[in-house]
Structure 1
């Protein structure tokens, strides 16, 4: 360990808060926070806003806990009333807060009430914007804003813990590696006045600096209109201070020396340098305000004493020229707003992000695919747990659910789900999420037992299990001879879903316990390659498949019995599989061919790989492919030369092709009876590196569609954006990296359209991945990466994951759906239904069957339950249903279709929620902003005017209220709208 490493262990790595008696401030302080607390800008001078801040990763090179313990800035704030500071990551804030005494807490509240300590962003972490799903983002901001505190319905709020002055109203996304349009839309819906960005493409930034367009109005949703518009500021120097003005122990910059007798006296020189830099920065912005971000990663030591001197001497030397003061992003934004100027607009996003001609940060779209899938599973189970707790009015679960929420909030961090952390930190993230998942499972068990025992008291003490490794066909609990599956559907609509559980070899029967009928089931073999996955345990060699018909927000039970043993599943001699919609075969090259039976559509799928570039990273042209960067040696992919082998299995429910491309690439292609999609269940790894070459594995789907150089990708799983190959909407792009410069984040879906022939093809994912369309009609997806060099952007190690002593093995799924645009309503509904089922899958709970037990016989009470008393329209989804406080629940309803996406389903829709739920009655309802921390009627955002002379504000949110007439509580939803409510309820008997 070097002396610096030892020093870093001892000094603060995270500037949290400690209390100092000597620096205490009076307890009684008036609330002068927000814009009222801002220093007054001088309209005749250049105003320099010094923003004291730190950036604290919730894990990156060290774990969350390793980054936590440290010193603070509170003592410095208490010492001088002119000083201000902002704080962002709520995860660290709460970790510190819980350890403080009441006097310290009161001092912090007073600093917040004075506007000298400002909470910015307010999420549990500063989230990534490329590979995060909006469902998890909404949750992490809701939880970041939340904290337990008594009394009113909004009492689980950040502003209730610290006072109303703590409510965040600025987005602070200064470190993510590219920025999504949906993130801006969510910020606007949270009620924010603006957001600040740190990173954007070097070519884009160069143009914006030249054009004075570093500040603009982001039109973040064509569906929500002005309600989703957000004023956006691109910071001049990312989030770093001006060059030469870093004053932390981690910096080497020259401090301000004002001892006139010292040979190192440098006041005039330093003042002149700062003011010159301010004037330079001002040339790229339209107002007479500049913002200096005075902080860095894991800072705050020695800053304020130097900043005090800087302010003092700049005022003394240049007071007639500039006005310098401590400020906050809010105060800067207010000063810009006061200028009453017109602003340019933007309606696309900031992907892909490049920091130089050879560094496109598109590799992390696919880095660490197991973590990306685990996070998606975590969201699935979190919604199940919250819904079950709300539907059953469960008690005594709160702390367990809090741990789970916190774990999921950590996972949204821009160095967590992204895969851009060290391996030891990735392991710790998995540990944190696993612990949270176990807490969520406990809550779900308690709630489901309560629900089932309301109809049959025998169920109150039944054993219950769940399996988190069904993706590798492993579940020890289903290898018993008989068991019951209580399958919960977290979606708002009835679902008919294929259920697959690993079983021992034999013949099985499945009985629907709601009516006593045996339903059709099928046994299919588990591929040998899956059985050999490192770490997979158990003796299951087959999977039992059946269709479960599940009620909305409800469960249904099925008994599974093993009737005989030693039945081998034999492949057929046929050369293709088919159902009503598709014919699927393998061609002579070993590629999969799909032919549509009802449209003139055909698709060929194959695997390939890029060789990762390796360099010394000392020059742009020597950049390596790594955790952040995707940089192939060549724009041409490498092919797998041998055609491989395959087997075909058929039955009444599913037909499968088991294909073996190489000894480390294989897949199962499935089509289900009656299902209008083709499933590609692929397995990749261990990626061989004995040749000392890193590899990035892609799968290509090449169709006969003429896509005209265009394709469509989702923004955080929500609205779709049009992409065009080798093109950026707001500048003339020059690409020196042809492939990586065309890669985009695919959180959930990528689509092609053939306008001439009225055809559409979509690919849906089970996790976030990188993807593109490098040829018309083709979709390319990167599924796995193993690299041997670091890309020199901070991680300090190669992305070379291993598990159980071997290179990491990945199993994942793609879903192909497509058809004619002439049947747009039907096709769009199929896509939406499938996407929802992939995000919120039916969750099976396994209940062992005791010998001679009569509890799991046909017609047993408690064999099913539903949380809804009536069906919702197909274009309405319950995004959130979770317990709140004092007999209330938090309810979010969303319209899931975009304007013009379909003829009928894109129309506004009205829902009466008073009698919507089966286990409780809605008594009253009150709308909040998206984060649940402010009543919608109290939201009053800053107004901005675009160069098109349209003034936007949030008044449209109030254009339709909740209609309450007797037993009718109608909620109107417009396309892509999310509305959030605190709902007072009266429980019904389960």
Structure 2
């Protein structure tokens, strides 16, 4: 640099030095350009290797097309960067996470920004408290802590929070996070918008919110973020049907924390807390099973071994034990004793220890430093111990933990049926939430019907408002959370959810009216002089129901499970909330009864949007009836999803799901498998292209899943039949009983 400066000064005085300077500048410029070209080439080569990956029969294609929502949990991403395990020891997987409820004792925004909207602060409005956890701060501090030590790993779960955080980041910071994801140091577990409830959520809403989350993962977090594990830690029981959907989405397994106390006692004694869950008797072999692991302490570390940021410095490596609460050596010895106890509960050479809890890691650096010290100390102790049973402790993730279990050469016991209902002790069954707070449950179903209708109307009208649909998808996703639709949260969060729903409904209705006009009078270029109006059909239309007494659930004592509020809905007038419902009784032959049940179940959920207009005489309708279908579908077939993905030039790309609504042996005729010609379904549209995708619409599906392999215990006899679905040929859709198949299709108008 000094030489360059001297040449520059002399160049103003001498022609000789001016020539030397020009030569030097030229050489430096050429060298810089060469280095830039080489770096750009390497970067593009790396991106190309990332974006075109084949994982046997699941293929990734990332070509920047607007309709491309497909990614892959390729071996090159999900498992390549897992820590190397050691043989002849117990491998201890330290899984660091923070449990972030998108609304529980606080509102979604309250949790995200660290504003106390909780039940103890309703009078004071918004109050910033120094000890109020902030999701925004937690995420930022975790990333900073990960960058300090390449061995550290962390789990991120709720895409609804990650999306809020992500849109506040600049591009350079996003690249850092994508690199952490690619290296496996951040693991996306679940990947859905929220951890949805498995007892109250409707299956279609659950599929939609998973798809919504997966789409964000692919579009923003990119290739190597594809989730491999369902992470359902805090749910109040688990259903076979929902987990059958998880299997169809391509998950390799599920990990959860809550299990009925009696079953947990039995499985602990038998060392069967890890198992193969048979979740679908109709499905092909590749989708029939789901590996299931129950974690030892819900989603916390062992009770007496918690590490929180409020005990900062407790495990610093200093030997000055007089100045710190507990030395790393003392803590590590206690943890070793706990590991020996925990290992006795699992018939495995890999065990998981969870470090985290509700809204922890706000002081992420201190938390990780404590764990660093613990890992180093335990491994040093194990290197010198003479114990026959040794432990090797390392940072890990749910994905790597599941992969390690799959590599063990052993068989696993089989579990059938549901993990419902759930009780955490005697006479304490978590079943009230199936029906409590019926108002928000009904409102969610109504909003879901509006969302479904708007997606269809957008295609009918050839007018797609993606922002309007996004708003509805976002609130419908939030509603599926296991503390929202269940009603297991204080009124402050329920009121916030209702407010969000009201805004989304109002905007959705306005969008629906606009779409109705495009459909009914496409020749018009101006808005109707008298608008359509929504009517909720006053109860006076149903006089017989008004005077019938109903029972509404109230609980006047708190159950001491965290909410600190009784279940006592007083309504807007303070006189008591009244919700009226109905029960339907069908008396008929078995075939007719089941037909009524299946058909009415669809009609009750997917209610039509009803709107009124005072006068049509001034603007006659171009169409009074219109259908997207060429012909009526067979009675056992239902179109579950028609969602616009992109509209480029004359090509409309949509997500299309179709389902068989009957189970095996439910009906003498309608339970049989059936085939549909997809190119004959759509009226006034020509099918340009169709590709089958997984249920979450995030992977192409050209055959059986290539998933982690598990061996079923030889004592289990599987007597059920298998349905192997023929590979989609671009035209014919085969459906076996209860099957849902998903497609990305391209249409053009005739």
Distance 1:122 1:957 in 2: 28
Distance 2:723 2:501 in 1: 36
Number of the residue aligned with 2:742 = 980
Q: Does 1:399 align with 2:467?
A: yes
Give the 3-state SS of the residue equivalent to 1:878 in structure 2. Answer: strand
Distance 1:368 1:941 in 2: 40
Give the structure-1-normalised TM-score: 0.62
Q: 1:102 Cα deviation (Å)?
A: 0.5
Q: 1:850-902, CA deviations, whole angstroms, 9 ceiling, x for partnerless residues?
A: 6xx3445xxx5311111111111111100000101242100000000101111
Q: Map 1:461-610 to 2 at 5 A.
A: 463-467=531-535, 469-470=536-537, 473=539, 526-527=542-543
Number of the residue aligned with 1:168 = 227
Match of 1:272 among 310, 333, 339: 333
Whether the aligned pair in 2 keeps the contact of 1:401 and 1:443 (CA below 8 Å) is: no
Distance 1:789 1:374 in 2: 26
Q: 1:457-505, CA deviations, whole angstroms, 9 ceiling, x for partnerless residues?
A: 78766512223x43x53xxxxxxxxxxxxxxxxxxxxxxxxxxxx6xxx
Number of the residue aligned with 1:712 = none
Number of the residue aligned with 2:579 = 810
Distance 1:462 1:923 in 2: 39
Q: 1:523-565, CA deviations, whole angstroms, 9 ceiling, x for partnerless residues?
A: xx653xxxxxxxxxxxxxxxxxxxxxxxxxxxxxxxxxxxxxx
Q: Does 1:293 align with 2:354?
A: yes
Distance 2:207 2:252 in 1: 17
Q: 1:937 to 1:460 in 2, by over 3 A?
A: farther
Tell me the C-alpha RMSD between the 2 structures.
2.3
Q: 1:922 to 1:208 in 2, by over 3 A?
A: same
Number of the residue aligned with 1:516 = none
Distance 2:736 2:223 in 1: 31
Number of the residue aligned with 2:569 = 801
Number of the residue aligned with 2:728 = 962
Q: 1:223 Cα deviation (Å)?
A: 2.1
Q: 1:441 Cα deviation (Å)?
A: 1.9
Q: 1:399 Cα deviation (Å)?
A: 0.7
Number of the residue aligned with 2:60 = none
Give the 3-state SS of the residue equivalent to 2:85 in structure 1. Answer: coil
Match of 2:108 among 58, 64, 85: 64
Q: What 5-or-longer segments of structure 2 have no aligned partner? A: 1-39, 51-75, 114-133
Distance 2:267 2:163 in 1: 38
Number of the residue aligned with 1:847 = 613
Q: 1:849 Cα deviation (Å)?
A: 1.5
Number of the residue aligned with 1:217 = 276
Number of the residue aligned with 2:97 = 53
Q: 1:261 Cα deviation (Å)?
A: 2.6
Match of 1:389 among 450, 458, 469: 458
User: Greater RCO between the two (CA within 8 Å, min separation 6)?
Assistant: 2
Q: 1:154-174, CA deviations, whole angstroms, 9 ceiling, x for partnerless residues?
A: xxxx22322211111110000
Give the 3-state SS of the residue equivalent to 1:921 in structure 2. Answer: strand
Q: Map 1:753-772 to 2 at 5 A.
A: none
Number of the residue aligned with 2:645 = 884
Q: 1:238 Cα deviation (Å)?
A: 0.6
Number of the residue aligned with 1:338 = 407
Q: 1:819 Cα deviation (Å)?
A: 2.2
Distance 1:392 1:275 in 2: 65
Give the 3-state SS of the residue equivalent to 1:326 in structure 2. Answer: strand
Whether the aligned pair in 1 keeps the contact of 2:284 and 2:723 (CA below 8 Å) is: no
Q: 1:366 Cα deviation (Å)?
A: 1.5
Number of the residue aligned with 2:629 = 868
Q: Does 1:433 align with 2:501?
A: yes
Distance 2:295 2:470 in 1: 35
Distance 1:309 1:957 in 2: 52
Q: 1:526 to 1:80 in 2, by over 3 A?
A: same
Q: 1:318 Cα deviation (Å)?
A: 1.8
Q: 1:435 Cα deviation (Å)?
A: 1.5
Q: Does 1:81 align with 2:81?
A: no
Q: Does 1:946 align with 2:712?
A: yes
Q: 1:848 Cα deviation (Å)?
A: 2.3
Distance 2:103 2:317 in 1: 38
Q: 1:658-692, CA deviations, whole angstroms, 9 ceiling, x for partnerless residues?
A: 5845xxx1xxxxxxxxxxxxxxxxxx3xxxxxxxx
Whether the aligned pair in 1 keeps the contact of 2:723 and 2:736 (CA below 8 Å) is: no
Match of 2:267 among 202, 208, 212: 208
Distance 2:288 2:534 in 1: 40
Q: 1:753-787, CA deviations, whole angstroms, 9 ceiling, x for partnerless residues?
A: xxxxxxxxxxxxxxxxxxxxxxxxxxxxxxx3112
Give the structure with the larger helix fraction.
2
Whether the aligned pair in 2 keeps the contact of 1:378 and 1:437 (CA below 8 Å) is: yes
Total equivalences in the alignment: 636
Distance 2:313 2:181 in 1: 32
Whether the aligned pair in 1 keeps the contact of 2:725 and 2:734 (CA below 8 Å) is: no
Q: 1:782-828, CA deviations, whole angstroms, 9 ceiling, x for partnerless residues?
A: xx31121111101101011111121111111221113233xx2x332
Q: 1:461 to 1:292 in 2, by over 3 A?
A: farther
Ranges of 4+ aligned residues in structure 1 off by more than 3 Å: 26-33, 455-462, 657-661, 948-952, 956-959
Match of 2:667 among 902, 906, 913: 902
Whether the aligned pair in 1 keeps the contact of 2:104 and 2:493 (CA below 8 Å) is: yes
Q: What 5-or-longer segments of structure 1 have no aligned partner? A: 1-25, 148-157, 474-501, 503-524, 528-656, 666-683, 685-696, 698-783
Give the structure with the larger strand fraction.
1
